[in-house]
Structure 1
Amino acid sequence: MSEELLLSLLTQNIIYILGAIFLMILIFKGIRIVPQSEKYVVERFGRLHAVLGPGINFIVPLLDAVAHKVSILERQLPNASQDAITKDNVLVQIDTSVFYRILEPEKTVYRIRDVDGAIATTVAGIVRAEIGKMDLDEVQSNRSQLIGQIQHLVESAVDDWGIEVTRAEILDVNLDQATRDAMLQQLNAERARRAQVTEAEGQKRAVELNADAELYAAEQIAKARRIQADAEAYATQVVAKAISDHGIEAAQYQVALKQVEALNALGAGEGKQTILVPANAIEAFGNAFNMLKGSGK
């Protein structure tokens, strides 16, 4: 075999090998494996052509190129502080933190250069605007509502950039020392006022309870007197009925009974007392004993 033939065969083999290598390079260039946490922005001749999602993707070698590799993981902006003035003219310092992620990288890479800076500026402006609509007490008490409003407004502002704001937080609301001292004085005054009100209400309640007790005692006394009067009236009624039914003898009988009871009471004494009776008392007692004897007592 001549040297020319060997050289020709060697040249053909080299061409085949180079062709195979070139074909392998084209295949390698046409395959793109995108990680789960990223998206690739593909350009063709300098213009947006496609967005590759996670997994195996194919592009046209030499025509298409991966221009941007964008992470779709959730990101956190550095904590920021901005001054704001409330509706009642109190200067406050608001510490905020924002979390976001990129949903449409083709919008993010072609519409905004500094994503973090743009979002931070937007958040600062919205926070100042919302704080200016509220009094200081409302800022302190309605923080969750304020956070929700800020997140909604930030989402609307960054929607054109293909960004989703997942969470916005107000970490702290700081006041200057003069404002803190004034609030502390107001708080102490409010506590003193509440203590005075509580004491006054206690005294008022004590007076009311005393009045209720006196009223109850008066009612009970009146009720007892009414019962006693009813009993006396009933007794009088019985005596009157007896007189009406039996005449004067019943009345004389009752008088004689009372006289005898009086004598028994005198006899039960210690014997040291001296009793003065009218001259006709003996005759009256005798009549009483006769009436009782006649009645079988």
Structure 2
Amino acid sequence: MKKDTERSQMIKAVRRERKPGRNALPLTLFLVIVLIAATYGLMQENNWIIASGFILAFLVSQSVKVAQQWEKAVVLRLGKFHSLAGPGLFFIIPIIDTTPFWIDQRIIATSFNAEQTLTKDNVPVDVDAVLFWMVWDAEKAALEVEDYREAVSWAAQTALRDVIGRTMLSEMLAGRENIDSELQEMIDKRTVPWGVAVQSVEIRDVIIPEGLQDAMSREAQADRERKARIILGSAEQEIAASFVEAANIYGDSAIALQLRSLNVLYESLKKQGGLVVVPSQMADATGLGACLGIQSQLARKPEDNKVEE
């Protein structure tokens, strides 16, 4: 029900023609001529002057037309195309000439969508897009198609459905620019005979079912976890290679191994004191006992040294 309502609103919006702005000039001429004719007729006490003035005012007001800067008026003479008029002031022959169409030649934005359309991999999607177009030939737009606004809207919608049916979902989500270009080319081919040129097409949103969204989210999460594990494994390999290289260096140089052992002890004791239990083999290999004995001897007070002497 909601989708049907949205579709009906879109159709009504497309069919709603923009009426030309009313200009005060014809009405002003009508009132001036009527006022002059009425004043002169009353002074002469002649009702025919008043009636003639009213008819003249009506004809003059109907013959004077004003088109806006962005408009073109299609003039038909006795039902046949005569000319394009405007923008600005122009005149027609009342009763003989008519102006049934006022063509807006500005760029127009039209929204359109494709609801529950299957992609190439059979996934139902709802796609919303915006079409930017303009009338470059007012004569063709008025004479070649009954309602060029509605025709452009339906041509855009059918082209969108056609493109969706030939595109995979992944391509649609990742390559919107390609779809925009393809849509623009397809719609432009259909609207050129109507005097309409397509400036651009932009896809606003692609809506997929909620169940598929959850599945895609889980797939993306699993892919991120896989990449994280690959990166972690690569880091472990680099660390292991570094350890192997360091072990080779320590194996070739006993002094380097002793310096590394002392550095480990220093790093463990530099922040806060504590008791460290060192294997005897490691202490003998590094000369740790002699170093600690010398350090403790230097740390004793001078008085204690004199007593021992």
Q: How does the TM-score come out when normalised to structure 2?
A: 0.59
SS at match of 1:36: coil
> By how many angstroms is 1:173 displaced?
0.6
2:124 is the counterpart of 1:91: yes
| Pair 179,107 (structure 1): closer, same or farther in 2 beyond 3 Å | same
Q: Check whether the contact 2:66–2:86 (CA below 8 A) recurs between aligned residues.
A: no
> By how many angstroms is 1:30 displaced?
4.5
Identity %: 25
Ranges in structure 2 where 5+ consecutive residues have no aligned partner: 1-43, 255-309
Q: Check whether the contact 1:83–1:128 (CA below 8 A) recurs between aligned residues.
A: no
Q: Check whether the contact 1:82–1:124 (CA below 8 A) recurs between aligned residues.
A: no
> By how many angstroms is 1:199 displaced?
1.5
| Paired AA for residue 97 in structure 1 | V
Q: Check whether the contact 1:80–1:95 (CA below 8 A) recurs between aligned residues.
A: yes
Corresponding residue for residue 213 of structure 2 = 180
> By how many angstroms is 1:109 displaced?
2.1
Q: 1:67 aligns with which of 93, 96, 100?
A: 100
| Paired AA for residue 82 in structure 2 | H
Q: 2:193 aligns with which of 143, 146, 160?
A: 160
Query: 1:119-138 residue pairs with structure 2 within 5 A?
Result: 119-138=152-171
2:121 is the counterpart of 1:115: no
| Pair 62,132 (structure 1): closer, same or farther in 2 beyond 3 Å | closer
| Paired AA for residue 150 in structure 2 | G
SS at match of 2:117: strand
Q: Check whether the contact 2:112–2:153 (CA below 8 A) recurs between aligned residues.
A: no
Q: Check whether the contact 2:114–2:160 (CA below 8 A) recurs between aligned residues.
A: no
Corresponding residue for residue 300 of structure 2 = none
Q: Check whether the contact 1:41–1:66 (CA below 8 A) recurs between aligned residues.
A: yes
> By how many angstroms is 1:148 displaced?
2.1
Q: Check whether the contact 1:75–1:99 (CA below 8 A) recurs between aligned residues.
A: yes
SS at match of 2:158: helix
Q: Check whether the contact 1:39–1:52 (CA below 8 A) recurs between aligned residues.
A: yes
RMSD (Å) for aligned C-alpha atoms: 3.0
SS at match of 2:166: coil
> By how many angstroms is 1:218 displaced?
5.2
C-alpha distance in 2, partners of 1:70/1:50? Answer: 13
| Pair 15,121 (structure 1): closer, same or farther in 2 beyond 3 Å | closer
Ranges in structure 1 where 5+ consecutive residues have no aligned partner: 1-9, 222-297
Corresponding residue for residue 16 of structure 2 = none
Corresponding residue for residue 88 of structure 2 = 55
| Pair 136,200 (structure 1): closer, same or farther in 2 beyond 3 Å | same
What is the number of equivalent residue pairs in this alignment?
Answer: 211
> By how many angstroms is 1:61 displaced?
4.9
C-alpha distance in 2, partners of 1:209/1:79? Answer: 61
C-alpha distance in 1, partners of 2:131/2:253? Answer: 74
Deviates more, 1:185-194 or 1:43-52: 185-194
| Pair 17,93 (structure 1): closer, same or farther in 2 beyond 3 Å | closer
